[in-house]
Amino acid sequence: MYKGGMSTREVAKFIESMYGAQYSPTTVSNITRTVMEDIEAWQKRPLERRYSVIDLDGLYVKLRRNTVSSEVVYLAMGIDEKGYRQILGFYVGGHESSNGWREVLKDLKQRGATDVLVGAFDGLPGLEEAFREIYPKADVQHCIVHKVRATFPKIRVADKTEFLGDLKLVYTALDGEVARAVFDGFKAKWSKQYPKEVKSWEEQLPTLLTFYKYPQLTWAAIYTTNAIERTNKELRKRLRPMNSLTNIEAAEKIIYLQATDYNEQWYGRAIRGFSDPETKAVFEKMYKERYGSNE
State mean pLDDT over 101-109: 96
Q: What is the DSSP letter of 160?
A: H
CA nearest 179: which of 190, 188, 168, 164? 168
For the segment 170-185, the average pLDDT, to the nearest whole number, is: 96
Residue 149: inside a domain, yes or no? yes
Together in a domain, 28 and 60: no
Residue 282 falls inside a structural domain: yes
Which of 26-35, 99-108, 119-128, 264-273 ranks highest by mean pLDDT? 99-108
Please indicate, yes or no, if residue 156 is contained in any of the structural domains: yes
In terms of domains, do 219 and 235 share one?
A: no
8-state DSSP, 70: E
How many angstroms separate the CA atoms of 24 and 38, rounded? Answer: 23
- Arithmetic mean of pLDDT, 95-100: 86
| Of the listed ranges 53-67, 109-123, 142-156, 203-217, the one predicted with least confidence | 53-67
Residue 241: pLDDT above 90? no
Rounded Cα distance between 272 and 231, Å, is 18
Residue 149 has pLDDT above 90, yes or no: yes
Would you say residue 139 lies in a domain?
no
Q: What is the pLDDT of residues 49-71, one digit of tens each?
A: 999 999 999 888 877 776 777 88
Write the burial class of residue 292 (CB in 10 Å: 0-12 exposed, 13-18 middle, 19+ buried): exposed
Work out the number of other CB atoms within 10 angstroms of the CB of residue 150. 14
Q: State the pLDDT at residue 250.
A: 77
Whether 56 and 89 share a structural domain: yes
Asked if residue 3 belongs to a domain, the reply is: no
- Residues 123 and 262 reside in one and the same domain: yes
Number of domains in the chain: 3
Could you tell me the strand order of the sheet in which 85-92 lies?
A: 85-92, 68-80, 50-64, 115-121, 139-142
Stretch 141-166: mean pLDDT = 95
Q: Strand pairing partners for 86?
A: 78
The band of 4, judged by pLDDT with boundaries at 50, 70 and 90, is low
Residue 82 shares a structural domain with residue 150: no
Closest to 182 measured CA to CA, from 195, 172, 197, 196: 172
Tell whether 66 and 193 lie within a shared domain: no
Q: What is the mean pLDDT of residues 161-171?
A: 96
pLDDT for residue 203: 96
Asked if residue 187 belongs to a domain, the reply is yes
Q: Counting beta carbons within 10 angstroms of the beta carbon of residue 273, is it exposed (0 to 12), middle (13 to 18) or buried (19 or more)?
A: middle
Sign of CA dihedral 113, 118, 124, 126: positive
pLDDT of residue 197: 96
Within a domain: residue 2? no
Task: Yes or no: say if 49 and 113 are a contact pair by the CB < 8 Å rule.
Answer: yes
Residue 152 domain boundaries: 144-224
What percentage of the chain carries pLDDT values higher than 90?
Answer: 60
- State pLDDT tens for residues 11-51: 788 888 888 888 887 787 777 777 778 888 999 999 999 99
Of 172, 193, 224, the one marking the end of a domain is 224
Domain end call among 191, 224, 257: 224
Task: Point out the domain boundary residue: 224, 252, 276.
Answer: 224
Q: Which residue has the higher pLDDT, 58 or 163?
A: 163
pLDDT of amino acid 16: 81
Same domain, yes or no: 159 and 119:
no
- What integer best gives the mean pLDDT of the chain? 89
Q: What CATH number did the domain enclosing 78 receive?
A: 3.30.420
Whether 12 and 120 map to the same domain: the answer is: no
Judge whether residue 90 has pLDDT over 60. Answer: yes
pLDDT at 129: 93
